[in-house]
C-alpha cells in the first residue's frame, strides 16, 4: 500500500480518536441531562436518562477499563429512584430500589423504602413482609420486627402479627409493643394472656413516664373487657402519677354513671382548677347538683354552658325544667 495512503489513514484515525467521545464522557453527559430533567420536574424521563447514564458508565468500565466509581453509580441510582417515585412510576421505582438493595444489602433505609412501596403503593404487603423478614434474618432489629408485625396487622393476620410483636419485645421491652401484644391477645379472645402481657411488663420496673402510659393502656384494656372496676383502678393509677385532664374527664363520666358523686366531684374540682371554664366539667357538676336536689346551683352551671355548642340544647331544657318547678 502506498505510504502516503497509509499515513493518511493513520492520521485520519488519530483525528477521529481525538474528537470521539469516550464512553465515560457520554455517561457523564447523560447524567447532566438527567439532572436537568429532574430539576425541571420531568421525573419519568429523568429516571430513564439516569438509568442510561449508569448503563453507559458500566459499559465504559467493561470496555475501556476505567475504574468503577461506586459513589457516582449509587448517587445516580438514588436520583433515578427519587425521579420515578416523584413521577409516581412505582414499578420502575421498585426496580431501581431492588438494584440498590443488591449493591447495599445492609442499608435499612433502602429496605424500608422497598417495604413502603410494596405495601402502600403496589398493594403487595406480603412482598413487603418477605423483604423485611429476609433483612431481619441477617441481623435482628427491633424496628424491623415491629414493622413486620404492623404489616401483618394491616393484612389482618393477627396470629403472625402477635408472633412478630413478641419477637420485637424480646429485643426491647417497649410499652407500645406490649400494648399491641395485649390488644392482639384480646382480639384473639385471649383475655388472660392480654392481662398477663401487661403484668409481665410491669415486672420490668419501667420508668415513671412509661408507667403512666402503661397504666392508661391497661385501663383501656379493661374497658374493652367490660371490667369497669379495674378500668377505673388503672386510670386512677395513671392520673395519680401525673394529672391528665382527659383521664380525669373520663373518670368523672364513669363515677357519675355509678352515682359516686363524691369521686366525680373530686375530679371535677381538679379539672376546674386547671381549666376554669371547662364546659365538660361544668356540665357534670350541673348534673350532679340537679340529681342531688341543688337546683339553684344546677341552674347557675347550666347557664354557664348555655352558649356552648356541645351543651346548649341540653342546658336550655334543664333550665326550663328548673324554672317551671
How do the residues of the chain divide into helix, strand and coil, expressed in percent and rounded to 5? 80, 0, 20
**Mean pLDDT (the chain, rounded):** 92
Which of the two residues, 18 and 163, has the higher pLDDT score?
Answer: 163
Average pLDDT over residues 273-282: 96
- Residue 172, C-alpha cell as written in the block: 426491647
pLDDT score recorded for residue 99: 95
Does 17 score more than 60 pLDDT? no
pLDDT tier at 65 (50, 70, 90 boundaries)? confident
- The structure's pTM equals 0.71
Does 320 score more than 50 pLDDT? yes
pLDDT score recorded for residue 325: 78
CA separation (Å) from 50 to 56, 76, 85, 127, 188?
10, 6, 14, 26, 49
pLDDT score recorded for residue 204: 87
User: Each residue of 67-122: pLDDT tens digit?
Assistant: 899 999 999 999 999 999 999 999 999 999 999 999 999 999 999 999 999 999 99
Which residues contact residue 201 at a Cβ distance below 8 angstroms, ignoring those fewer than 6 apart? 173, 175, 178, 214
User: Each residue of 107-126: pLDDT tens digit?
Assistant: 999 999 999 999 999 999 99
pLDDT score recorded for residue 159: 97
Burial of 321 (C-beta count, 10 Å sphere; 0-12/13-18/19+): middle
pLDDT tier at 190 (50, 70, 90 boundaries)? very high
**CA gap 117, 227 in Å, rounded:** 41
Q: To the nearest whole percent, how much of the chain has pLDDT over 70?
A: 94
**CA gap 22, 25 in Å, rounded:** 5
- Residue 63, C-alpha cell as written in the block: 470496555
pLDDT tier at 15 (50, 70, 90 boundaries)? very low
CA separation (Å) from 65 to 20, 22, 96, 103?
17, 12, 25, 20
Q: How many CB atoms lie within 10 A of CB 12?
A: 10
- Residue 298, C-alpha cell as written in the block: 344546677
Does 13 score more than 50 pLDDT? no
- Residue 64, C-alpha cell as written in the block: 475501556
Does 3 score more than 80 pLDDT? no
pLDDT tier at 278 (50, 70, 90 boundaries)? very high
Does 19 score more than 60 pLDDT? no
Does 12 score more than 60 pLDDT? no
Residues 82, 106: contact at Cβ < 8 Å?
Answer: no
Average pLDDT over residues 285-309: 96
Average pLDDT over residues 267-278: 96
End-to-end CA distance of the chain: 129
User: Each residue of 23-59: pLDDT tens digit?
Assistant: 899 999 999 999 999 999 999 999 999 999 999 999 9
User: Each residue of 209-237: pLDDT tens digit?
Assistant: 999 999 999 999 999 899 999 999 999 99
Amino acid at each position: 500500500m502506498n505510504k502516503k495512503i497509509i499515513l493518511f489513514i493513520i492520521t485520519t484515525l488519530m483525528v477521529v480518536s481525538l474528537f470521539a467521545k469516550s464512553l465515560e464522557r457520554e455517561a457523564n453527559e447523560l447524567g447532566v441531562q438527567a439532572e436537568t430533567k429532574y430539576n425541571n420536574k420531568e421525573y419519568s424521563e429523568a429516571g430513564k436518562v439516569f438509568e442510561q447514564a449508569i448503563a453507559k458508565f458500566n459499559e465504559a468500565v467493561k470496555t475501556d477499563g476505567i475504574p468503577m466509581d461506586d459513589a457516582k453509580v449509587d448517587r445516580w441510582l438514588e436520583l433515578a429512584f427519587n425521579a420515578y417515585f416523584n413521577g409516581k412510576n412505582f414499578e420502575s421505582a421498585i426496580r431501581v430500589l431492588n438494584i440498590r438493595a443488591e449493591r447495599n444489602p445492609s442499608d435499612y433505609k433502602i429496605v424500608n423504602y422497598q417495604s413502603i412501596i410494596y405495601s402502600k403503593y403496589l398493594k403487595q404487603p406480603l412482598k413487603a413482609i418477605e423483604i423485611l423478614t429476609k433483612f431481619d434474618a441477617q441481623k435482628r432489629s427491633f424496628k424491623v420486627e415491629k414493622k413486620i408485625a404492623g404489616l401483618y396487622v394491616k393484612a389482618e393476620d393477627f396470629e403472625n402479627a402477635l408472633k412478630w410483636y413478641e419477637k420485637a419485645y424480646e429485643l426491647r421491652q417497649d410499652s407500645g409493643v406490649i400494648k399491641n401484644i395485649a390488644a392482639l391477645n384480646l382480639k384473639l379472645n385471649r383475655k388472660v394472656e392480654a392481662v398477663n402481657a401487661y403484668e409481665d411488663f410491669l415486672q420490668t420496673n419501667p420508668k415513671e413516664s412509661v408507667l403512666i402510659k402503661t397504666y392508661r393502656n391497661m385501663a383501656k384494656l379493661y374497658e374493652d373487657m367490660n371490667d369497669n372496676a379495674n378500668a377505673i383502678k388503672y386510670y386512677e393509677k395513671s392520673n395519680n402519677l401525673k394529672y391528665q385532664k382527659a383521664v380525669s374527664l373520663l373518670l368523672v363520666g364513669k363515677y357519675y354513671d355509678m352515682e359516686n358523686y363524691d369521686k366525680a366531684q373530686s375530679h371535677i374540682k381538679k379539672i376546674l382548677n386547671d381549666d376554669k371554664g371547662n364546659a365538660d366539667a361544668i356540665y357534670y357538676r350541673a348534673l350532679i347538683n340537679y340529681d342531688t336536689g341543688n337546683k339553684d346551683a344546677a341552674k347557675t352551671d347550666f347557664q354557664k354552658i348555655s352558649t356552648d355548642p356541645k351543651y346548649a340544647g341540653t342546658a336550655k331544657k334543664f333550665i326550663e325544667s328548673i324554672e317551671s318547678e
